Amino acid sequence: MSKVLVPLANGFEEIEAVSIIDVLRRAEIKVLVASLGENMLIKGVNGITVQTDYDIRNINSDMIDMMVLPGGWGGTHALADDENVQRLLREMDAKGKNIGAICAAPFALNKAGVLKEKYTCYPSVEEQIRQEGYMGDTAMVVEDENVMTSRGPGTAICFGLAIARKLKGEDTYKALKEGLLATYCK
């Protein structure tokens, strides 16, 4: 069974995190929801608290197949500043393992040096990353090598579906897309 790590930090974007976790679990992918430390209750940008299951300090890159970062500026900055998140991102990339980020979170990928040439993010965040390679709204999900990025809350289900397609294949993707009534996802 594929395993995906979703690290949460205070200020994460709830729609993105919960949508990704939900879609991946529907695809029968094991999702490890981790905090950045001992506090397992993480408060999102809109005041919704989520209980995590793991402390990221106990996760290594051999335990997971993919790492996906939700956005939200507060959470993104914490992920970008966390030595364990940054180390895991670099290890995952060095091993050619899949990495994903949505909304503001490509900022954390860029800080780790793993963001590839083509990417998308929440509008205006590219100003904090780089203009070159920014795909804007040309696609809800942009893939470049082993890195997938997406735009924000409104694209979170499509992003989750794209991850499910990558890890579980086209049949799982189509079944989930139909069941979620996500006909707008490409």
Note the pLDDT tens digit of each residue in 86-111: 999 999 999 999 999 999 999 999 99
Q: How many domains does the chain have?
A: 1
Helix axes 14-26, 170-179, angle to 10 degrees: 120
The confidence score (pLDDT) of residue 53 equals: 96
The confidence score (pLDDT) of residue 32 equals: 98
Q: List, in sequence order, the alpha helices (H) in the chain.
A: 14-26, 73-81, 83-94, 106-112, 126-129, 156-168, 170-179
The confidence score (pLDDT) of residue 186 equals: 85
Whether 103 sits among the annotated catalytic residues: the reply is yes
Cα–Cα distance measured from residue 21 to residue 29, given in angstroms and rounded to the nearest whole number: 9
Of 23, 11, 67, nearest in space to 185 by CA: 23
Query: Please, are residues 185 and 154 in contact by the beta-carbon 8 Å criterion?
Result: no
Is the residue at 185 inside a domain? Answer: no
- Give the model confidence (pLDDT) of 142-169 as tens digits: 999 999 999 999 999 999 999 999 999 9
Pairing state between β 30-35 and 3-7: parallel
Question: For the domain that residue 119 is a member of, what is the CATH number?
Answer: 3.40.50.880
Tell the residue number behind the tokens 């979703």, with chain if given: 6
Is the residue at 27 inside a domain? Answer: yes
Q: At 72, list the tokens.
A: 């939200």
Band (40; pLDDT cuts 50, 70, 90): very high
Is the residue at 186 inside a domain? Answer: no
Is the residue at 184 inside a domain? Answer: no
Of 31, 13, 3, nearest in space to 105 by CA: 13
Average pLDDT, stretch 108-117?
A: 98
Band (38; pLDDT cuts 50, 70, 90): confident
87 Cβ neighbours under 8 A, 6+ residues apart? none
C-alpha angle 148/150/151, rounded to 5°? 160
Is the residue at 37 inside a domain? Answer: yes
Query: Which domain does 137 fall in, by range?
Result: 3-179
